[in-house]
Amino acid sequence: MSEEYDAGPVAALRRIAFLLERGREDTYKVKAFRKAAAAILPLPEEEVRRAVADDTLTKVPGVGASSAAVIASAVRGELPERLARAEREHGGPLVADGADLLATLRGDLHSHSDWSDGGSPIEEMAFTAMELGREYQVLTDHSPRLTVAHGLSAERLARQLDVVDAVNRHLAAAGGRFTLLKGIEVDILDDGSLDQTDEMLARLEVRVASVHSKLAMDADAMTRRMVAAVANPFTNVLGHCTGRLVTGGRGTRKESQFDARAVFEACVEHDVAVEINSRPERRDPPTRLLELARDVGCLFSIDTDAHAPGQLDFLAYGAERAAAAGIEPERIVNTWPKDRLLAWANR
């Protein structure tokens, strides 16, 4: 006899997609379930029930055989087998340690939407962060020079800020305590300047600055580049500082070479947090540099760098690394309440 299920077909499809992303499964599988959820979301409940009874669900554009089976089970009040399997395979704890530190994290300062190189709309990222119990999430799509990631021009970024306002109005009307914060992952250009206008940077609430180009440049030049970016008064977080890749579909990439002590001392001087990037393929900074930043006295931000809703759970990976390095929660800026975070980021 099937286990009972009462959350509905859209919730079942979204949960499967979330778990597949959390488990780093193939993107095409995830997209199939998200597409099906979007297809049936606007349909009246009776219409969906009729399609289940008539076995015509697959005639709905965007609904395939696997998604139809999930919908049919959920409509009948039965736990979909595909959901049960996803829970078994990907629903457990991601890491063994760091749970206490993870519980102190109120939000995440680095995430992407389909406005740049993320895979989901802004509202889906926001709703998922809210469902995970976050108090805030910073939307940090890329800046214009990163054309391969569809970086946002000043004009597109300005339009995005209106969308963020609309999402927050909707959430406030529904009585929610969650806030989507306005941010950017701004490219650090070759000379250390930031790839966005000062006018637009001033309109944002949190700014992550990262190197994405010429990662193999001379160590002295890279040091000057990074120190200049950290000294920029708009910079709040130094993102994935070495740029390395240690695993994953994009292959591996060596660390950028720079004087880490000089960069981290600049972070302390200018009150900039060093990002602990939680993506499993990055694990950036490497442990020896994480410990150096700790000893120099840096602040930190544990971030997911999520490009899909299921990746918003990756905070656990960063929390485990921070706990292993003995970094106190008070030095991690996303343990702070929103008002304190924003006061720090816009000093």
Q: Is the pTM of this model over 0.85?
A: yes
Residues of the domain holding 85: 9-90
CATH number at residue 59: 1.10.150
Question: Where is the domain boundary, 41, 58, 90?
Answer: 90
46 plus 129 within the same structural domain: no
Q: Would you say residue 55 has pLDDT above 90? A: yes
The two tokens of residue 101 are: 């530190």
**Total of domains in the chain:** 2
Query: Tens digit of pLDDT for each residue in 71-87?
Result: 999 999 999 999 999 99
Query: Tens digit of pLDDT for each residue in 134-193?
Result: 999 999 999 999 999 999 999 999 999 999 999 999 999 988 899 999 999 999 999 999
Distance CA 66, CA 51 (A): 15
Write phi, then psi, for 77 (nearest 5 degrees): 80, 20
Distance CA 301, CA 181 (A): 15
- Tell me if 321 is assigned to some domain: yes
- Tell me if 3 is assigned to some domain: no
Q: What confidence score (pLDDT) does residue 249 get?
A: 79
Half-sphere exposure of 196 (CA within 13 A, CB side): 34
117-121, 302-306, 333-337: least confidently modelled range: 117-121
Q: Of 185, 291, 322, 326, which is closest to residue 334 (Cα–Cα)? A: 322
260 plus 315 within the same structural domain: yes
62 plus 85 within the same structural domain: yes
Q: Of 340, 273, 318, which is closest to residue 136 (Cα–Cα)? A: 340
Distance CA 37, CA 304 (A): 24
Query: Tens digit of pLDDT for each residue in 201-219?
Result: 999 999 999 999 999 999 9
Q: Would you say residue 251 has pLDDT above 90? A: no
- Tell me if 4 is assigned to some domain: no
Q: What confidence score (pLDDT) does residue 1 get?
A: 56
Other beta carbons within 10 angstroms of residue 1's beta carbon come to 4
The rounded mean pLDDT for the chain is: 96
